[in-house]
Structure 1
């Protein structure tokens, strides 16, 4: 994990493997800040959706016992939202380094849409 100090608060960048392990162990809340259409088309199982357009750090769950990790497609939107959360009073917030693209590139399991039927399917490479 890489950490950056942002005005005395901590912004963490977690690797795909760190997020996958913590998600499997039920140690984090993973928040996908992509738009609902992106999230509906494909997503990391267990991730919640709080789209950038409606992102309100005050609506994030507390970090009592679980760290919040944000992600988007490539990391730009989630980094911006993480910094907004820090400005809103969070002392520590994390981001999936490389976003959903890095997750797929690492061949981690995700939910996708079968284009032939429109049904959800699990992709595990």
Structure 2
């Protein structure tokens, strides 16, 4: 029983630590805040290509989080990076990867694409 309590406390402590560390390099923006800045930035949709084709924010480039390490050359470190995925978890992973690679200005859409109410573009096949 003691071991279980200690394990739970350790897991909780690690989670809290990661949350606060992430807040130091990733700024989560409301849709209004996101709209104000993303046209001057690199707008990256980190979902898979088939999700991107079903609909994405106008002007976004698709660089899935699963391919991001191999495609870092496509992104500039001197420009802000605006990330989104379906709900926020994959864009948070992408932000962590970018931070480790030296990117400084990293922003995430709060609630992800499923909460987006602005203009979208869909693929030609749909």
* TM bucket normalised to smaller: 0.7 to 0.9
Aligned partners of 1:33 and 1:70 also within 8 Å: yes
Question: Which residue of the partner structure matches residue 57 of structure 2?
Answer: 44
Distance 1:86-1:109 versus aligned 2 partners, 3 A rule: same
* Greater strand content: 1
Q: SS at the partner of 2:25?
A: strand
Post-superposition Cα deviations, 1:64-104, rounded to whole Å, max 9, x if no partner, equal 3x31011100000000110111112223311111110111x
Aligned length in residues: 107
- Of structures 1 and 2, the one with the larger relative CO (CA 8 A, separation 6+) is 2
Structure 2 unaligned segments of length 5 or more: list them: 1-18
Q: Which residue of 1 aligns with 2:27?
A: 12
1:62 alignment partner in structure 2: 76
- State the TM-score, normalized to the length of structure 1: 0.73
Report the CA distance shift for 1:110/1:83 in structure 2 as closer, same or farther (over 3 A): same
Aligned structure 1 segments of 4 or more residues deviating by more than 3 angstroms: none
Give the corresponding residue for 2:4. Answer: none
CA distance, structure 1, for counterparts of residue 54 and residue 92 of structure 2: 22
Larger Rg: 2
Aligned residue in 2 for 1:109: 119
How far is 1:59 from its partner?
2.6
Query: 1:123: which partner in 2?
Result: none
Verify the 8 A CA contact 2:65 2:93 in the aligned structure 1.
Answer: no
- The whole-number CA distance in structure 2 between the counterparts of 1:21 and 1:31 is 15
Deviation at 1:41, TM superposition (A): 1.2
More helix by share: 2
> RMSD over aligned Cα, in angstroms?
2.4
